[in-house]
Structure 1
Amino acid sequence: MTQQRPILAASAAIFRGGEVLLVQRGNAVGLGLWSLPGGKVEFGERAKAAAAREVREETGVIVELRSLAGFYEIIAKPTHYAIACYAGVHIAGEPVPASDALQAKFVALHDVASFDLALHTVDAIQAARAILGI
């Protein structure tokens, strides 16, 4: 019998002024939902580095990650994701969807609730805002 294990992933709440970076998911888990950019941590890669890499791969945006904002789990059988989410700020670049993102854009904080969001997205944004004082 094969033992199943959670998949370690990393994401980031990236802010530019009064906006946060969101992506629309293009893969089976969360297809069509909007979330923070992120993905799997590679073997030997630190979660913080993975978060910055995933933001760059999915959106082309360069970021500065400041602090861990929280740890979230998504269990959607047969998958179990354990996600380290970081708080960060925009350094350079305009979002362009790539990798598994259908769309990528900065969204005004007051408009976030109008999107069809993945589980924990609002909680992660709020935690990151508190850490960054936004």
Structure 2
Amino acid sequence: MSRPAPELAVSAAIFRQTNVLIVQRASAPAKGLWTLPGGRVEVGETLLEALKREVLEETALTIDVIDLAGYREIILPQAVGERGRHFVILPFAARWRAGDVALNDELKDARWMPVGDVATLPTTDGLIDILRQAERLLAAP
């Protein structure tokens, strides 16, 4: 029997002027927590293709991707029944290009807000650090 492999995912810190889009997860894992839109990379997709597809599917937005803003690694011992899960998540800094937020059923809520205000919400681990790094990338010449 083969062991399950880590799941590769991407997410986007999407900025529109001085605000970033954060979303609230509707189901496990991370149900109720605020985080970035994103999801799994499918076989045959590049990271950027997966990122743009996931953002469009979850939020109906189109984005311009700037650069990688870090990484997160989450190991959940028993997230799904008896089977643990291991996620490697690559968050990217991005700019809003077009569209109005329309959430799919994976998300419960969404807010555009200043990065400093995100700390007042229950978030996924390391979110504030990723947002600050994304801000730096967007400010770079």
Q: TM-score range by the shorter chain?
A: over 0.9
Please list the CA deviations of residues 110-131 of structure 1 after superposition, one character each: whole Å capped at 9, or x if unmatched. Answer: 3111111011211211111111
Are the equivalent residues in 1 in contact too, given 2:115–2:132 (CA < 8 A)? Answer: no
Deviation at 1:99, TM superposition (A): 4.0
For residues 68 and 22 of structure 2, the distance between their equivalents in structure 1, rounded to whole angstroms, comes to 18
Deviation at 1:45, TM superposition (A): 0.6
Aligned match for 1:93, one of 86, 89, 99: 99
Gaps of 5+ in 2: 78-83
Where has structure 1 moved over 3 Å in runs of 4 or more?
none
User: Please, which moves more after superposition, 1-10 or 28-37?
Assistant: 1-10
Deviation at 1:102, TM superposition (A): 1.0
User: Please, which moves more after superposition, 37-46 or 89-98?
Assistant: 89-98
Alignment of 1:72-91 (within 5 A): 72-77=72-77, 78-91=84-97
1:70 maps to what in 2? 70
How many pairs does the alignment contain? 134
Query: What is the root-mean-square deviation of aligned Cα atoms in Å?
Result: 1.4
Q: TM-score, normalised by structure 2?
A: 0.89
Deviation at 1:105, TM superposition (A): 2.4
For residues 75 and 107 of structure 1, the distance between their equivalents in structure 2, rounded to whole angstroms, comes to 29
Query: Percent of aligned pairs with the same residue?
Result: 39
Instruction: Please say which structure displays the higher CA radius of gyration.
Output: 2
Q: TM-score, normalised by structure 1?
A: 0.93
